């Protein structure tokens, strides 16, 4: 009994001494062995706002956890140091890779070194291709029209819609067409169930939970709980992905055997297949599988969530919605005059007339003409400032280092820059940092750009997003059509909040009623 009492007294003394040593430190409460895990788990569903609280008090917050120490940063100089100045010391790292490997494998968002460089070089060449840009413009226009048709029907039938789900379907169809050369028609009028999309979302949520769940490896070993669900989701994901790869390989092989080389599609997957060679071994197919899933998370999730938040911002800020509507209406009239085209009558009570006018408007939208919609661009950019598609991005630390603000970081830990917090910091954006104000992106009536180390929605440095221009093209195409012809109203009682996953999606979707504009 005496021995047990001695052990208990030692533990209590250790705990008290630890807490005393932490009394003047900024950041969450920490405990021996557990670190800040208790507070982090208690705030998991609102973790991004939890971090806002601490980063508004200190530009760098150190959060010890049982198996790693996380250093969160929100000051642009620190971000530039990590993403550019000392880039080689801050890779994705083994910890991040181990958490995400089951979903993203060795794809571009989950790899370092030569594997990452090769994929980035291939992707950069494809995104610079005029053929891909022209093809993307047509695809984005076509799927925006499909979405508009569904919304039109819903408006005439007074039906509620989940806008986030519809946008996820639109962007999934788009990336599958542009990236992999296949039609999956998830945005068909009857909105068929899409097991791949459901499994992809489930897997995304579970791998994100791994970052604060100290027991995930045990659950994986025993194949129980969330890790068992993850296994089931990955099976569905892989079945779909390998089917896409084998279909494209067969089409390429058939075109070559027939001497129809000019018939080979120039989508991104085909380019990677060409570089990988014609072998069908597991390693080759596995690498192509990783390419596909990394482009899905880049081309589907990020764009759809940003559009969802942008629509939510317009319906909660009436003056923004009206200013955007007037810009789009003026643009429509000016473009029609430039092309000597007469605008069709827009009868909001006649479904056929209404859709014809939307189709006519969509023909005015090109990559070049969309550049003449600065307020539209500002609305999207301001949305990304407050609701970045990737709300936080962790990096590994290879060697001990000192950040520009004097914070010491140790090799083996993690540094995470936090776009969600950065957009809300007054020390970055001024006293109205938390206010949605697209006008902040203009100076003397001209659009201005901020440093990518301050506006980090597309990352910065050597890993800066290759698909930025493509993403803006699709978002402007879709939002221009939607905000020109529809007014949105939130369904009464519907709660909008984010869901904890690698992408800042809405936990309950975005339930709306649709109202037509003349």
The pLDDT of 135-156, averaged and rounded, is: 94
- pLDDT, tens digit (0-9, with 9 covering 90-100), for 430-475: 999 999 999 999 999 999 999 999 999 999 999 999 999 999 999 9
Binding site feature residues: 465
Per-residue pLDDT at 21 exceeds 50:
no
Rounded distance between C-alpha atoms, residue 134 and residue 308, angstroms: 25
Q: What's the pLDDT score for residue 277?
A: 64
The pLDDT of 31-39, averaged and rounded, is: 69
67 vs 36, 210, 211, 224, 413, CA distance in Å? 11, 12, 10, 22, 9
pLDDT band for 252, please (50, 70, 90 cuts).
confident
Per-residue pLDDT at 314 exceeds 90:
yes
Q: What's the pLDDT score for residue 280?
A: 45
Rounded distance between C-alpha atoms, residue 196 and residue 208, angstroms: 18
| 52 three-class SS | helix
- pLDDT, tens digit (0-9, with 9 covering 90-100), for 362-419: 999 999 999 999 999 999 999 999 999 999 999 999 999 999 999 999 999 999 999 9
Q: φ, ψ for residue 507 (rounded to 5)?
A: -65, -40
Rounded distance between C-alpha atoms, residue 119 and residue 112, angstroms: 10
Q: What's the pLDDT score for residue 213?
A: 82
Q: Which of 17-21, 100-104, 146-150, 191-195 has the lowest mean pLDDT?
A: 17-21
Binding site feature residues for heme: 465
Q: What's the pLDDT score for residue 247?
A: 87
Per-residue pLDDT at 52 exceeds 70:
yes
| 359 three-class SS | helix
Tokens matching residue 249: 């390989």
Q: What's the pLDDT score for residue 264?
A: 61
Q: What's the pLDDT score for residue 398?
A: 95
Q: What's the pLDDT score for residue 436?
A: 98
Rounded distance between C-alpha atoms, residue 209 and residue 502, angstroms: 9
- pLDDT, tens digit (0-9, with 9 covering 90-100), for 212-228: 787 899 999 999 999 99
Q: What's the pLDDT score for residue 13?
A: 46
More confident residue, 257 or 80: 80
Nearest CA-CA partner of 194 in 296, 339, 338, 332: 296
Rounded distance between C-alpha atoms, residue 483 and residue 313, angstroms: 12
- pLDDT, tens digit (0-9, with 9 covering 90-100), for 467-513: 999 999 999 999 999 999 999 999 999 999 999 888 999 999 999 99
Strands 69-73 and 414-417 turn out to be parallel
pLDDT band for 33, please (50, 70, 90 cuts).
low
Per-residue pLDDT at 90 exceeds 90:
yes
Q: What's the pLDDT score for residue 89?
A: 97
Per-residue pLDDT at 30 exceeds 80:
no
DSSP structural state of residue 262: G
> Model pTM?
0.88
Rounded distance between C-alpha atoms, residue 399 and residue 88, angstroms: 10
Rounded distance between C-alpha atoms, residue 265 and residue 237, angstroms: 24
Tokens matching residue 404: 């520009």
Q: What percent of the chain has pLDDT over 90?
A: 62
Per-residue pLDDT at 299 exceeds 80:
yes
Sequence spans of domains, the chain? 25-516
The topology (CATH level 3) of 25-516 is Cytochrome p450 (1.10.630)
Q: What's the pLDDT score for residue 67?
A: 67
Q: Which strand (E) or helix (H) includes residue 103? A: helix 93-104
Q: What's the pLDDT score for residue 126?
A: 80
- For the chain, the average pLDDT equals 88
| 187 three-class SS | coil
Q: Which of 181-185, 306-310, 501-505 has the lowest mean pLDDT?
A: 181-185
More confident residue, 253 or 61: 61
């Amino acid at each position: 009994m005496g021995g047990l009492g001695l052990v208990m007294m030692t533990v209590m003394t250790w705990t008290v001494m630890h807490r005393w040593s932490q009394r003047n430190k900024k950041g969450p409460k920490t405990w021996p062995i557990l670190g800040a895990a208790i507070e982090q788990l208690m705030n998991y569903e609102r973790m991004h706002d939890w971090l806002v609280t601490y980063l508004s008090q200190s530009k760098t917050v150190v959060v010890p956890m049982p198996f790693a120490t996380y250093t969160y940063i929100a000051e642009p100089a620190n971000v530039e140091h990590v993403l550019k100045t000392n880039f080689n010391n801050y890779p994705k790292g083994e910890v991040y890779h181990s958490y995400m490997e089951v979903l993203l494998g060795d794809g571009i968002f989950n790899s370092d070194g030569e594997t990452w460089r090769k994929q980035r070089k291939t992707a950069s060449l494809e995104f610079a291709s005029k053929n891909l840009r022209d093809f993307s413009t047509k695809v984005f226009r076509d799927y925006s029209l499909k979405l508009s048709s569904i919304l039109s029907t819903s408006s005439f039938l007074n039906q509620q819609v989940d806008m986030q789900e519809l946008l996820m379907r639109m962007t999934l169809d788009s990336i599958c067409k542009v990236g992999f050369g296949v039609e999956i028609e998830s945005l068909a009028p009857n909105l068929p169930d899409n097991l791949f999309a459901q499994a992809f979302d489930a897997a995304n949520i579970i791998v994100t939970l791994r970052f604060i769940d100290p027991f995930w490896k045990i659950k994986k070993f025993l194949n129980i709980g969330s890790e068992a669900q993850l296994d089931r989701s990955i099976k569905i994901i892989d079945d779909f992905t390998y089917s896409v790869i084998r279909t494209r390989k067969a089409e390429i092989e058939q075109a070559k055997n027939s001497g129809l080389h000019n018939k080979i599609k120039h989508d991104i997957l085909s380019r990677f297949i060409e570089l990988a060679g014609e072998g069908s071994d597991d390693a080759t197919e596995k690498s192509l599988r990783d390419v596909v899933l990394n482009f899905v998370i880049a081309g589907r999730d990020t764009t759809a969530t940003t559009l969802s938040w942008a629509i939510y911002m317009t319906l909660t800020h009436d003056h923004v919605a009206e200013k955007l509507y007037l810009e789009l209406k003026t643009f429509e009239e000016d473009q029609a005059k430039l092309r000597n085209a007469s605008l069709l009558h827009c009868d909001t009570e006649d479904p056929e007339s209404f859709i014809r006018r939307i189709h006519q408007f969509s023909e005015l939208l090109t990559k070049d003409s969309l550049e003449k919609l600065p307020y539209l661009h500002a609305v999207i950019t301001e949305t990304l400032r407050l609701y970045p598609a990737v709300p936080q991005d962790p990096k590994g630390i290879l060697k001990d280092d000192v950040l520009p603000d004097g914070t010491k970081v140790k090799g083996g830990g993690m540094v995470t820059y936090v776009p969600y917090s950065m957009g809300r910091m007054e020390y970055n954006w001024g006293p109205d940092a938390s206010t949605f104000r697209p006008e902040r992106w203009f100076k003397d009536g001209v659009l201005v750009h901020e440093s990518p180390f301050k506006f980090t929605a597309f990352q910065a440095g050597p890993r800066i997003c290759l698909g930025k221009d493509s993403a803006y093209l699709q978002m402007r195409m879709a939002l221009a059509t939607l905000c020109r012809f529809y007014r949105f109203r939130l369904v009464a009682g519907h709660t909008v909040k984010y869901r904890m996953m690698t992408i800042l999606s809405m936990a309950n979707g975005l339930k709306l009623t649709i109202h037509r504009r003349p």
